[in-house]
Structure 1
Amino acid sequence: MTTVGLLYPGHSAEDDYPRIAVLLDSDIRLPLFHTDIGEDAHREDALIEMGAADRLAAGVEELRMAGSESLVWACTSGSFIRGWDGAQQQIRELAQTAGLPASSTSFAFVHAAQALGAGRVAVAATYPQDVTESFAEFLGAAGIEVTAARASGIVTAAEVGTWERDQVLELARAGDDPRAEAVLLPDTALHTTAHLAELEEALGKPVLTANQVTVWEGLRLAERKAWADGLGRLFARPDDWPDGE
């Protein structure tokens, strides 16, 4: 049994996680604790407050009691908004509080892109322009080139959580760039798990989405390899990658 604890802000697309668990091996568990979102706004001050240490610490003991072997702050904007150093400090504090390996969705994107060998990526974001640019800067600090970054201007996670298949596909298509080796959809409030296979087929390249990479990162920290159909190139067996990549 491998247990990855998830700290998830509010209530938007958390049902992606049970879907992922079903597609993964039956001995992988993904217990989730909802952190207090505060003000639901993709705005720098609100996002910094959303990821405050006391808000994250509130769910740690519950996830420890659930037997978590690793812990992930399942929020992209609430981590990268602090910049590279601030995001590192955030997960150091979380790891110290939990006594467990810890990370965040922002670092999950970095590690997942590196695992796929994607040094050039396109960002297709639900966020306003300034927040999207902050994510691109975060990726740049990790040595990942952002060839294009599309912002959708959505202010609240609540609105993003209502997006359906056609909107997700349109977002990915609009954000793609021919120079990019992968396309990143960075909002954990966006339902993407049911559409991963279709997204990659439509774009002809790996697609990394927030809830997908969050689970992958937690498994990486727990030193558990897992393969699954329907969860994109990231969870595909290397032998199944096109052209033996």
Structure 2
Amino acid sequence: MRIGVLGTGMVGKAIASRLVEVGHEVRLGSRTSDNENLLNWVEENGESASGGTFADAAAFGTVVVNATRGIISLDVLEAAGEENLAGKTIMDVANPLVITSEVEPPSLGILNDDSLGERIQRRFPTARVVKTLNTMNCDIMVNPKVLSGHHNVFVSGNDKAAKDEVASLLGQFGWGEDTIFDLGDITTARGPEMFVALYSRMFLKIRHLHFNISVVWDPNVEPLLPEGV
């Protein structure tokens, strides 16, 4: 599969490298095609790796990964070009963080009654946005076996085929079917995005980033809500 990854930071490069490793052709996108991080990544990842602008990467991929800073993600996707995103799955792993201090945890620029995932879907209605992987550090995103035991990755999106496509990629990263927790439509992206407020406090307690969460429930308890609610 040809995949475009937008963002040359730690997350973008980790995801792009892992996608190359599992057999995909990947084009990493930046604001400019001569970005030093971009050129170094291409050199390090072999013939299946290429680089270009955001528009180049979006045009190249049948799937597009948004791994940019969430607070600028809409601007980046505008630069990528609506025509290059039309009909494609956008795997959105970004969080709309606002960082105002080096010592205080970041706050969220979008919360409660909206999410970055929803804003992307509204702005690019012909794309198929799937929110995932935003509740953990990037080394766990691409290799869940970094942690022992059962832990979960969330998925939110309106389009089942797009979620299945993303779930297939997650499986290639090492996420088992029983670890992929489909929350529902794109409005459910609010929960995982707001989880970041808790994540940042957990980091202050744990003092490193090798942690994730596991959802545990009793399957024998009578449901309190009807199916589909």
Shorter-chain TM range is 0.3 to 0.5
Question: Larger % of helix: which?
Answer: 1
> TM-score of the superposition, structure 2-length normalised?
0.40
The higher radius of gyration belongs to 2
Relative contact order, higher structure (CA 8 A, sep 6+): 1
> TM-score of the superposition, structure 1-length normalised?
0.38
